[in-house]
Amino acid sequence: MTRIQYYILICFVAVVFFSDTKQSHAITISPLRHAIVLEKGEERTVSLAVYNETAEVVTVVPEVDAFSIHPKTGVAQFGAPDKAKTWISAAQKNQTIVPGDQKQLDFLIRVPKDAKAESHHIGLFATQPSTLGAVTIGSRTGSLLSLHIAGEVEESIALRDFSVEKKLVTTPKTTLFLHLNNAGTIHLVPTGGIRLINRKGEILEDISINPEESSVLNGEQFVRNYATSQLSVKDVGKIRVQLYMKYGITHREMSHEIAFWYIPKILFYGGIFFGISILIGMVSVWYKKLLYAND
């Protein structure tokens, strides 16, 4: 994979995961996103322009944080552990900005020579320290840094769970569960679907697993629940559930199959009642024969 391809991939992550960043009412920053590829041992400075759009003097402090993506909601969650945070230091301790003016915050990135070729997702923030009586207390405005360390990467997704709510389904609808883990060193976008196939080999439904094309960051989870459409009486019997998926630049494939039995309640309980009736009949016949034998 070329350096340009990595840059395009990282830009995509930046747009998807930080495009909804909300600016503080007190300060704004530019740019909102950085996407860079660095070699092992390389250094580079990334700068933020901080604008004071208030009528008061404000002081901002540079801050570095990492984020992960919630496996179910896809929302960025800051405070994640990432060793890359220790590679970044701020050139200024703080900046005081008068109304209508702007200042610059510089962040120096030093990549270790033994760094692993993988992606890191960092937030670079201009933070207003908490001050008693301040209009904005402890607010911060951030820019996303998508940092990739150049080199050979691994694209790998591990299937943690693919299951159905119950092995014996008596209602027309059921729920399927999918849990994936990005075990590689770069973010991935899983695509594909889940097919439900009846005993006749007919495809009853084809569910897209990732219609929003959400990225799964390296080391993160992808967890989804899927509600099936309504099954009909003609689908009674074994239902096969096939997972088919592709991911990565090389379009790696993954597939898995499970199954469940669909027996509508009316047939299920009817069968139980019929079985009990047969058993009672057999016991009754046996008992009568036993009485006749004693006579």
Give the CA dihedral 88, 92, 97, 102, nearest 10 degrees. Answer: -60
- Please report where in the chains the tokens 């993988």 appear, as a residue: 118
Quick check: 88 and 122 in contact, CB under 8 A? yes
Strand partners, 12: none
Strand 168-169 versus strand 157-164 pairing type:
unpaired
Give per-residue pLDDT as tens, 85-107.
999 999 999 999 999 999 999 99
Dump the DSSP string for 28-77. EEE-SEEEEEE-TT-EEEEEEEEEE-SSS-EEEEEEEEEEEE-TTT--EE
- The candidate with the shortest Cα–Cα distance to 184, out of 118, 253, 116, 246, is 118
Q: What is the pLDDT of residue 245?
A: 96
Domains of the chain (ranges; CATH) run 3-149 (2.60.40.10), 157-263 (2.60.40.10)
Residue in the structure block whose two tokens are 């569960």: 177
> What's the pLDDT at 23?
42
The candidate with the shortest Cα–Cα distance to 231, out of 159, 176, 162, 277, is 176
SS3 264: coil
What is the end-to-end Cα distance of the chain in Å, rounded?
92
- Cα angle, residue 113 at apex, residues 110 and 114 outer, rounded to 5°: 120
Element (H, E) at 207: strand 203-208
The strand ranges marked E within 75-156 are 76-78, 88-90, 95-97, 102-110, 119-127, 140-149
Pick from 64, 14, 69: which is nearest to 37 by CA? 14
Give the pLDDT of residue 138: 58
**Which regions of the chain are under pLDDT 70?**
1-25, 74, 131-138, 265-271, 273-274, 277, 281, 283-285, 287-295
**pTM for this structure?**
0.62
* Burial label, 231 (beta-carbon count in 10 A; 0-12, 13-18, 19+): buried
pLDDT in the model for residue 75: 73
**CB-CB neighbours of 64 under 10 Å:** 20
Q: How far apart are CA 57 and CA 95, in angstroms?
A: 11
Task: Name the residue type at position 198.
Answer: N
CB 218 within 8 Å of CB 247: no
Between CA 214 and CA 224, with CA 218 as vertex, the angle to 5 degrees is 40
